[in-house]
Structure 1
Amino acid sequence: MLTTKSVTGNLPKSSELNQRLNNKTLMLSSRQMGWNGILVEQYQNLPAPAEKELSALSTHWLILPGHPGHLHWKFDDRLRESIFQKGDSLLVPAGQSGYWRCQNSKSSQTELHIHLQPELVEQVTQASEMDTERLDLVNHFCKQDLHLQHIAMLLLAELCSDGMMGQLYVESLTQVLVIHLLRHYSKSAQIITSENRSLTHAQLQQAIDYIHTHLNRDLSLAEIAEVINISPTYFASLFKRATGISPHQYVIQQRVERAKSLLSKTDLAIADIALQVGFSSQSHLTQQFKRLTGMTPKQVR
């Protein structure tokens, strides 16, 4: 079984992106948040025409404009024209150069850029048992994809909250995003399923014991999967098959249960309990506590 490690390096530098985004102002970035294999940035798009020769990037580049516009683009020596609407997306695979000319709307708008390291995509591909001979992502422009939009908006919400949900949540979203792109935007569209595979009782118990022991930490998929020596993506799918919920959802449930116990058995301040069970703040605890129990921590106490 494959054990994947954290992907480091190779994310585009700020100076490299600034050269190709000279009509945009950076508003938010995950660059300093330590997210593994992914860079998420939100830009304000100035109401001016943009024309650019695009040198090849070392990452897969996903763009969600969030505003209408007119796009001329050229890849593989073919010039094409598209009208894009809010909700459309654009994907430029790593290593591909090209050209585009874009006429934006008259008012300033925001757009979301997501960069994925090819090493991360390859790891997810191998762990999902996809056909590695045809894993290459391909260009796509102005395609409506509500599922892709939903994943991207969840990543943006996590960026806006300064990483409130934690590393495990971001890794889960990233892997869902990569698998979605591989299923719908690559030369290979089929996954070899592993219906007959499952975690052994010992593996599941070992993973659960590790989660319970380290609830107060910002757990990651890679960290938990390493305990039973399998890949993070493989672990996530098998854990959900065994328990009915994702690792992230399970961790949240256990944190709420432990908080419930501490609220009834101790006089600790709610803010201290939140940190002790692994939530980033009292408000984060209250949000998840009310979602799962229908009450606030104060009401329980």
Structure 2
Amino acid sequence: MAVSQSSNAQNSESPIFSSLNLDWETILLEEYRQPSGGTTLAAEADLVIVLSLSTQPHRIYQQIGDRHHIGLYHQGDLCITPSGIPSGYQAEGDDHYLYAQIPSRFLQQVVEEALELNLDRVEVVPTFQSRNPQLEQLLRLLQAELHQDGRMGRLYVESLTNALVVNLLRDYSTTQPHITQYDGGLGDRKLLQVTHYINEALDQDIKLADLAQLAGVSQSHFSRLFKRSMGLSPHQYLLQQRVERAKQLLKNTNQSLVEIALACGFDSHSHFTRQFRHITGLTPKAYRAH
């Protein structure tokens, strides 16, 4: 499942940040700064969420399908356009926003796995100028990862986008879906399989789908069950284990810091140093000399 490789069609301006080249399969994320203006759009194949980032309020005229809205948008305001609906906008003043496009196949997967419904039974409501702290926080975390060129890896991004879609469906669909909950966490056998897999693949870009398949549960449920079992999210556990492996290599080998960083799944020396210091309180160099 891949995100459409067509960028946001509404913009003549190029994005200042884009995930197009980051190989993110569950979301296309782009950040724009636009001068005054606007356009009319054909119906998008995928659901679109736009988060206002403008520090100064500005008026926007909008249309989604047959619905119209005029509002003074502030930082943190959301607009949601379901798939298959034409839309348009006209902004007065400079506009700064985050554009998130959710592939229909991924949306369908979350609906079937987390909500145990068919996608045609869940209708997302066109939404103007909404406030939703949970969705905003998730989008901000994804924005921060976009600015870092995806350094935290696929597992982190896929966990965030799963949570983003589940929260969106819960708050912005006509059918208020029941999100299936499971008591307890992963069983001991499954937990051992998953943690063994993680520790054997620390140098790889581990995918949430692979861990969920190994545990025999959906991606949407896996993160919650894993955290209930381990007290850490899958991504936090992965990072912890990468640092533990790095500690062993620092003490027991003469490998360079760059070699150790790559062997433990960090994409650069600087990323390795930052995460290692965050967890241990020491730089890798200082830990080796300690």
Query: Same fold judged by TM-score > 0.5?
Result: yes
Structure 1 partner of 2:102: 116
Per-residue deviation, 1:84: 0.9
TM (norm. structure 2) is 0.91
Judged with a 3 Å threshold, the aligned counterparts in structure 2 of structure 1 residues 75 and 156 are, in CA distance, closer, same or farther, namely: closer
Say yes or no: does 1:282 pair with 2:254. Answer: no
Q: 1:184 aligns with which of 157, 163, 171?
A: 171
Per-residue deviation, 1:233: 1.8
Write out per-residue CA displacement over residues 30-68 of structure 1, whole angstroms, 9 at most, x where no aligned residue: 11211013101111211x232x32211001111123122
Structure 2 residues without counterparts, runs of 5 or longer? none
Write out per-residue CA displacement over residues 162-192 of structure 1, whole angstroms, 9 at most, x where no aligned residue: 1111111111111111112112122234434
Q: 1:292 aligns with which of 272, 279, 288?
A: 279
Structure 1 partner of 2:18: 29
Say yes or no: does 1:243 pair with 2:230. Answer: yes
Looking at structure 1, the residues matched to 228 and 115 of structure 2 have their Cα atoms a distance apart, in angstroms, of 17
Judged with a 3 Å threshold, the aligned counterparts in structure 2 of structure 1 residues 219 and 232 are, in CA distance, closer, same or farther, namely: same
Per-residue deviation, 1:223: 1.6
Structure 1 counterpart of 2:108, one-letter code:
E
Number of residue pairs matched by the alignment: 285
Judged with a 3 Å threshold, the aligned counterparts in structure 2 of structure 1 residues 110 and 53 are, in CA distance, closer, same or farther, namely: closer
Looking at structure 2, the residues matched to 238 and 86 of structure 1 have their Cα atoms a distance apart, in angstroms, of 34
Structure 1 residues without counterparts, runs of 5 or longer? 1-6
Please show how residues 48-127 of structure 1 align to structure 2 within 5 Å: 48-50=36-38, 52-67=39-54, 68-105=57-94, 109-127=95-113
Say yes or no: does 1:150 pair with 2:144. Answer: no
Does 150-159 or 228-237 show the bigger shift? 228-237
Structure 1 partner of 2:114: 128
Looking at structure 1, the residues matched to 99 and 106 of structure 2 have their Cα atoms a distance apart, in angstroms, of 17
Looking at structure 1, the residues matched to 67 and 245 of structure 2 have their Cα atoms a distance apart, in angstroms, of 59
Judged with a 3 Å threshold, the aligned counterparts in structure 2 of structure 1 residues 12 and 297 are, in CA distance, closer, same or farther, namely: closer
Helix, strand or coil at the partner of 2:16: strand
Helix, strand or coil at the partner of 2:180: coil
Paired-residue identity, %: 35
CA contact (8 A) 2:194 2:215 kept: yes
TM (norm. structure 1) is 0.88
Judged with a 3 Å threshold, the aligned counterparts in structure 2 of structure 1 residues 78 and 268 are, in CA distance, closer, same or farther, namely: closer
Q: 2:6 aligns with which of 13, 32, 38?
A: 13
Does 187-196 or 237-246 show the bigger shift? 187-196
RMSD of the TM alignment (CA)? 1.9
Looking at structure 2, the residues matched to 38 and 53 of structure 1 have their Cα atoms a distance apart, in angstroms, of 23
